[in-house]
Structures are given as C-alpha cells and as structure tokens.
Chains A and B, each alone.
Chain A
C-alpha cells in the first residue's frame, strides 16, 4: 500500500463509546491507494469505524481524517469521497436512473445524465434503469447504491458490507470493478465478515475484534508474525513414519500426527522448518514429495485472533 502525504484516510487514537459500551477502542491507521478490507465479526465496530471515516459519526476521542482534514462537520470532503451504506433503504418511488441522477445533482455535477449513465454501466444496471427502485431485488439495490456513490468519481470509496445479498456472479463483477478503480489510484475500504471475500479482494487487511485493531497488513504477513501459534503443514513422503520419527527430535517441532495416509507436522517456526526439513529427510533416507501449509487461510488467522 502506498500511503500518500497527507494520507487518503487516517485515524489517530480514535475511540467511540455509547454510554458504557465501547464500540471502537483506540484505533490508529493510515491508508492510501489500493483496497483495504475491514474484517471482523458482527458488532466488532467496523460500521462505527466507517461512519466515523465518512463524517457521519463524531469520534468520542481522537480524530478521523480524510485527506488530512477532519471528517466530522466537513461536507466539502464529499467531493472526493463516496459512501455505500449498509442499510437497504433507497427512495422506492424513484427509478434507478433518477436515484443516481439525484446523487449527481446533489454533487453539483455539470452533466448529470452522462455521469449517471456511466455509473450505471459500471454496475451493470442499465437494463433496469427505468424501473422504480422499490421493485429492485436486494442485489440490484446494492448495485444502485454503489452507482450513486461513484457517480462523482471519488478518489475514496467506503463500502459497508457491500457483498450482502449479491449473488456470486454479481460479486465477481463488483470485485472486478473495485480492482479496476484501485488500479486507477482510488483508495477503497470495504467491511465484511465474510473471510473469503476479503481474502480475494483486499491487498491490505485490518482485523477489528471487540473494537480494537487486532492485526493489520497483508494477511500472510500477519500469519507469519503469529509465532506463538504452531503452523501446520502436510507432508507427503516415501516413508511418513520414518521422517516423523526423525522430525519429532527437532526442537522447533511441536508435534507430528499421521492420519489417512498423510503426515501433519506442527511447528512454531516456519522458516526454521523450511531449512531443516530437507536435511532431516536426507539423513533419514526419505524422499519428500510434497509440503503443504494447511492453515494459511484467513479463516485460521481470524479465528485465532478472535479467540485471543
């Protein structure tokens, strides 16, 4: 992630509480162009964070900034920022085209018609543009909201649970669209509790758990940094038992187990294991066929962080 100066989005020791409940607890980060995924379970504070970044909520402490300026009480910043809210509601009596044109008009765009049509094309709603949004399906409503949010070509786009209700094909198209935008230099932040989507789309991940920032960065990197949890690998070799016996003697190995004809090795240090495995195999006279990390997915990273 390339973070400009001033950063496109930044929060500094930001907290938000409602009476006794702390929704966001002392979070700081800075984001630049590219796609960032806000990942966390429901109620973790992702929406609250997005609302503070989009100027709809005042932080109880700290500051949320957009392009260096405070997001709160700053309507002018909406020229460069678009928000796709989570709630479904749209004006049901307006057609899709009218709804996007409303957005274009309120942004003061000189050519509303063209801008609206362009936005609708990007979300593939041109064939239903003249239908009232009250009659749209959930996925269509989602897309028309996105169209309204990008009609003014913002350099920053915030999406709150954007893939809710989208079928796999629409999701794919949305992912493609967001990737295109980010390659053109936009800063995109989306929240999700669906790990698969974040894994597929985000270059950069912010994991929010219980209002706190539990991890940030590339998820493989995060995984690597969690040294106190054993990595698990699957080994296929010419003689599983023999290499298992040889490996268990090594200090960096927590355990080995054999089930269903494959060998699972648990090690605390992936790098160390990568060095010793060939040597141990050669000394034991065993041929290694395959080495597969079994829990590199975001899912295992996430569940580990949630339990912490």
Chain B
C-alpha cells in the first residue's frame, strides 16, 4: 500500500520475475509422477495418520490368514495345507472390497471435489494420461495387497521346512498363477471401483456406491444361481463380481472348485470366468475413459 502522492506518476518495479529457461522433463515424466503420487495417496503416504489407517490396516488384515498358516506350518511337522493357494482370494475378498471402497474415492474424487481438474488438464498430460495414471496406481496397489500375502505364504512355507531350496523348487510353479490371479483381481476390482467412484465427487457416496455394488450384486448373483436352472443358471453367476473373480482365480490355478459352493452349482466352464472378468474390466475402463474425456470442467 503506497501512500498517495499528489501529482506522482505510477511506476512498476521489476522485482525479479524471470521465465523458466531450464530443462523440462516432458510428458512421460509428468504421467509417471501423477501415477507415483496417486499410488502413494492410496496408502496414505505423505498424508495424515487418519488416511493411512484404513489402507494399511486392511493390508495387514489381508496378511492374517497367511500368518496363521505359517504359524501352523512352523509348529506342525507335517505338510499341512490349511489354506490352499487358489483359495486365498476367497478368504480375503471382503478386505479387498473394503480397500477398493476406501481407496477409489480417495484418488479419483479429490480432484473433482476440489475442482483441481482444470489444473491437470491444462498441463502437458492429456485427459487419457490422467485416467491411465490413476488407474495404474490403484491396480498396482491392489496387486500388491492381493499378491503379497500369497507370496509370503509361498516363501514362508518353504522357509519353515528343513529343505528351503528343495521345497521352493517343488512349489515354485505356484508363482505364476499367483501373479496372474492377483493381476486379474487387481485389474477387475481397480477398474470397476474407479468407474463407480468417478460418478460422484462426494467421498461418502462413492464409498457407499462401490460397497453397494459389490455387496448387492454378489447377493443377487448367488440368489439367481440358486433360483434358476439350465443355461441361465450357468451365466447368472457372472452377475456376481465376487463369484466371477473367484471362478477366474480357480481356473487360473487349474484347481477343483470347493464342493457345495455357488461356483460348483453354477457349473460354468472355467475359462469363461476369466473371459467375463476381462470383459467387465474392459467395459469399466471404457466407461472411465469416456467419462473423463467428455467431462466439462
């Protein structure tokens, strides 16, 4: 605030603003950065304690069945398999659903809520890049959450025996299905929950919507399988996201379905679960891209 001087003319002083002339790292780096920071945001890193509680807590809970199995293996001499590898996902599926319900609104809702999307879209990264980075972050996060306990179980089981390398060599063929199964789960749940969460900026709504989708459609799918017969019954199971994923995982592990479960009742050809999972993911990804490409900010 300058005091007014009679008859004084105004001046503008050069306080040293200079345009930036240095190196610019380009679009790829920008996309990578967005991905990396979104990934960190999923686990609440770089934020307050409150936002770490849920994701890290749920990851820990996902490890519990593996820990129990390892504890038993360490104590009991025999090769007891309490949790079969192909079953692991069905044990922790509720945890993964909760993880998605909390994480998806966190990374896709914040920018809409705070109206910072124009800041992103007016930079070198394209709208498609934005979606890809966010999707990549959630999928990678989910992959870690789902794969980690299984890998721990695999390695830990071998460590618990007397012959580490030998046991590992015997069981190493499980590694590929673990990776593949976790990848399918991660892509499916990541894309579906992001697609749903992107519909509304309000966090509580988005969380509720993701939860409601998984819970209601799972109930629905199961009811339909129990209630119908024939061809319809077979395909009805695909209504349930959880059962679809379970089926795909079992198929990847080439394992037998548990007796008297909804999956065995549906009696659908294994590979179709995988196809359906991929199909759902593609549709969700398509919806996600379309939404952001057409969004007016």
Contacts and interface: CB of A to CB of B under 8 A. Distances in A.
Asked if chains A and B are in direct contact (CB within 8 A), the reply is yes
B3 to A, nearest CB: 6
B1 A234 contact: no
B6 A262 contact: yes
Contacts of A261: 7
Interface in B1-40: 1, 3-8
Contacts of A292: 6
A300 B1 CA distance: 9
Chain A's interface size range is 10 to 19
A299 B5 contact: no
A280 B8 CA distance: 27
A218 to B, nearest CB: 22
A260 B7 CA distance: 7
B1 A260 contact: no
B3 A260 contact: no
B3 A294 contact: yes
B4 A260 contact: no
Contacts of B8: 259-260
A19 to B, nearest CB: 15
Contact of A232 (B1, B3, B6, B7): B3
Nearest to A292: B6
A223 B234 CA distance: 86
A65 to B, nearest CB: 37
B138 to A, nearest CB: 33
B7 A294 contact: no
Contacts of B3: 232, 294-295, 300
Contacts of B5: 259-260, 262
A250 interface: no
A303 interface: yes
Contacts of A294: 3-4
Interface string A251-270: 00000000111100000000
A232 B2 CA distance: 13
Interface string A270-308: 000000000000000000000010110001100100000
A260 B6 CA distance: 8
A192 B3 CA distance: 23
Nearest to B7: A260
B4 A299 contact: no
A299 B3 CA distance: 10
B239 to A, nearest CB: 36
A303 B8 CA distance: 22
Interface in A26-71: none
Nearest to B4: A294
B8 to A, nearest CB: 5
B229 to A, nearest CB: 48
Contacts of B1: 299-300, 303
Nearest to B9: A260
Nearest to B5: A260
Given A259-B5, A260-B7, A303-B1, 8 more contacts: A232-B3, A234-B6, A259-B8, A260-B6, A262-B5, A295-B3, A299-B1, A300-B1
Interface of B: 1, 3-8
Interface of A: 232, 234, 259-262, 292, 294-295, 299-300, 303
Q: Which 10 A-B pairs have the closest CB atoms?
A: A262-B6, A260-B8, A260-B7, A260-B5, A294-B3, A303-B1, A234-B6, A295-B3, A259-B5, A294-B4
20 contacts: A232-B3, A234-B6, A259-B5, A259-B8, A260-B5, A260-B6, A260-B7, A260-B8, A261-B7, A262-B5, A262-B6, A262-B7, A292-B6, A294-B3, A294-B4, A295-B3, A299-B1, A300-B1, A300-B3, A303-B1
